[in-house]
């Protein structure tokens, strides 16, 4: 007699999201070589370290400088691992335990940042089980319905628009035809009615291009992008990798085993899986939200690193990394800090005139594509010459999302963002001048093309 189909109580079934061990591990520290540097010497020291001792990638989650807890006017600077070479003989050197790994949750960041200042950004994988555990959630009810439809043997694949595009059981006569593999094969067969995709230079015949089938295939990189998968038991390693390479968005299952693909052996190799947990699993290829999502999807960070091809950083404490001009009167190319500050000032002064909904420059009849806040912020990051400053600006955007409902709010947000940077650098801030009271002056500065320094003088004189 066959087993009865599973039933899931709509009120008591609990969703547990599978999370990598990186999301749950405790603080681990590793010895790092730290210098004690007077503030007056910070610029020279940082320039030397940037040139001779850039931080290794394993320590890129650390901020390089912090203020000394006990000594006034002294900064502590990470040189590198405990056995690194120190390019200074006249400064005090000691070992200090710093966080070994980057923080993947806000809770980790808040705890570990107390040990040594760190860089943290919202990770790609985010918790979604709390929303699904609300009994009133329509998404929860739909998931449970599909889980019951899958029963104990089937695998169901649902497209992003809610259509069932594959439904399969394992073929017990073939060792490789697990239910997941059969279901993915069904999707592939439905998506590729033609025997092969032509990739040569010969023009396609009308028959090959009929109904746009082949061109659609050529445009699509993966079979199950954004799809949801429902099954009773956790996929094995083979099926898990097939689902991963098909780019499914999420996988739901109700029972797992230590030797299966998502929470079992693959946990030994964290980059290959989405996480581990028990119970009804929710494996999500989580997308970043808002600004960080846009930056990641457009490849801005990778493009920036590829273009720089250098571990050079500006002076983290003051950003005063101007090179000495050896011959007065000779025009030298600007360095990274000069270019970065000039571009920051320019794009800030442009904020009042960017066309945004509700802004003074918006027109209902305008038919051309208007630049969005993402256009401006993306362009800032893409051309910013210093990776440290660019990453720091992304941190600010994560902590203080841009206000873009109107030009006035966007302009004020830029002013607050500038203050956040200056506070980090111990520089003078706009403070009370960053308010709606000075919006006319901000607009005037943008209209005349003034830099922020000139704008600061303008409103400071009123």
CB atoms within 10 A of CB 193: 11
316 and 263 both lie in a single domain: no
Domain assignment present for 186: yes
145 and 225 both lie in a single domain: yes
CB atoms within 10 A of CB 202: 7
Q: Is the separation of the CB atoms in 166 and 156 below 8 Å? A: yes
For residue 288, give the DSSP letter. Answer: P
192 and 263 both lie in a single domain: yes
Residue 235 domain boundaries: 15-19+127-197+211-284
What is the pLDDT at residue 83?
85
Bridge partners, residue 155, by sequence: 168, 231
Q: Checking DSSP bridges between strand 250-253 and strand 228-231, what pairing results, if any?
A: parallel
Bridge partners, residue 75, by sequence: 37, 67
- Provide the domain count of the chain: 3
The structure tokens listed for 306 are 């590829």
Domain assignment present for 44: yes
Cα separation, 146 vs 385, whole angstroms: 50
**Predicted confidence (pLDDT) per residue in 400-410, tens digit:** 777 766 777 77
215 and 248 both lie in a single domain: yes
Residue 17's φ and ψ, nearest 5 degrees, are: -80, 140
Per-residue buried b or exposed e for 308-336, using 16+ beta carbons within 10 Å of the residue's own CB: eeebbbbbbbbbebeeeeeeeeeeeeeeb
Cα separation, 57 vs 62, whole angstroms: 10
What is the pLDDT at residue 139?
80
Sheet architecture: strand order including 280-284: 15-17, 280-284, 250-253, 228-231, 155-158, 164-168
145 and 35 both lie in a single domain: no
Domain assignment present for 205: no
221 and 165 both lie in a single domain: yes
Specify the pTM: 0.46
How high is the mean pLDDT in each 10-residue block of the chain (462 residues)?
66 74 87 90 85 85 88 89 86 91 87 90 66 76 84 88 90 87 90 52 44 42 83 84 85 66 47 36 32 48 46 42 54 58 61 52 41 58 58 69 72 77 68 75 64 60 54
Among residues 64, 81, 112, the one where a domain terminates is 112
What is the pLDDT at residue 246?
87
């Amino acid at each position: 007699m066959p087993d009865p189909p599973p039933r899931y109580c709509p009120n008591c079934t609990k969703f547990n999201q599978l999370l990598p061990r990186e999301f749950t591990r405790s603080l681990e520290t590793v010895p790092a070589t730290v210098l004690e540097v007077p503030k007056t010497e910070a610029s020279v020291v940082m320039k030397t370290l940037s040139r001779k001792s850039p931080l290794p990638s394993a320590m890129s989650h650390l901020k390089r400088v912090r203020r000394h807890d006990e000594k006034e006017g002294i900064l502590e600077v990470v040189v590198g691992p405990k056995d690194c070479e120190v390019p200074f003989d006249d400064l005090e050197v000691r070992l200090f335990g710093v966080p070994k790994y980057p923080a993947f949750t806000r809770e980790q960041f808040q705890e570990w940042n107390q040990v040594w200042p760190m860089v943290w950004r919202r990770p790609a994988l985010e918790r979604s089980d709390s929303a699904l555990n609300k009994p009133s959630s329509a998404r929860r009810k739909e998931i449970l319905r599909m889980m019951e439809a899958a029963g104990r043997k089937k695998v169901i694949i649902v497209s992003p628009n809610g259509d069932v595009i594959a439904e399969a059981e394992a073929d017990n006569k073939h060792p490789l035809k697990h239910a997941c593999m059969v279901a993915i094969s069904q999707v592939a067969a439905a998506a590729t009615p033609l025997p092969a995709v032509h990739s040569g230079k010969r023009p396609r015949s009308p028959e090959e291009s009929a109904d746009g089938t082949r061109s659609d295939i050529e445009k699509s990189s993966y079979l199950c992008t954004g799809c949801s998968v429902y099954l009773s038991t956790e996929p094995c390693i083979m099926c898990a990798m097939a689902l991963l390479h098909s780019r499914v968005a999420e996988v739901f299952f109700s029972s797992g085993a230590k030797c299966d693909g998502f929470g079992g052996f693959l946990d030994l190799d964290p980059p290959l899986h989405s996480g581990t947990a028990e119970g009804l699993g929710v494996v999500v290829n989580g997308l970043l939200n808002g600004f960080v999502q846009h930056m990641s999807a457009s490849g801005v960070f990778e493009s920036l690193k590829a273009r720089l091809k250098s571990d050079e950083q500006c002076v983290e404490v003051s950003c005063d990394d101007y090179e000495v001009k050896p011959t007065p009167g000779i025009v030298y190319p600007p360095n990274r800090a000069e270019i970065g500050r000039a571009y920051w000032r320019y794009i800030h002064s442009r904020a009042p005139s960017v066309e945004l909904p509700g802004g003074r420059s918006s027109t209902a009849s305008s038919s051309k594509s208007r630049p969005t806040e993402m256009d401006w912020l993306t362009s800032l990051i893409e051309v910013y010459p210093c990776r440290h400053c660019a990453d720091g600006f992304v941190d600010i955007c994560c902590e203080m999302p841009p206000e873009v409902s109107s030009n006035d709010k966007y302009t004020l947000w830029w002013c607050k963002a500038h203050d956040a940077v200056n506070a980090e650098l111990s520089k003078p801030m706009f403070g009370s001048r960053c308010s709606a009271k000075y919006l006319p002056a901000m607009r005037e500065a943008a209209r005349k093309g003034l830099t922020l320094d000139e704008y600061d003088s303008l409103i400071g004189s009123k």
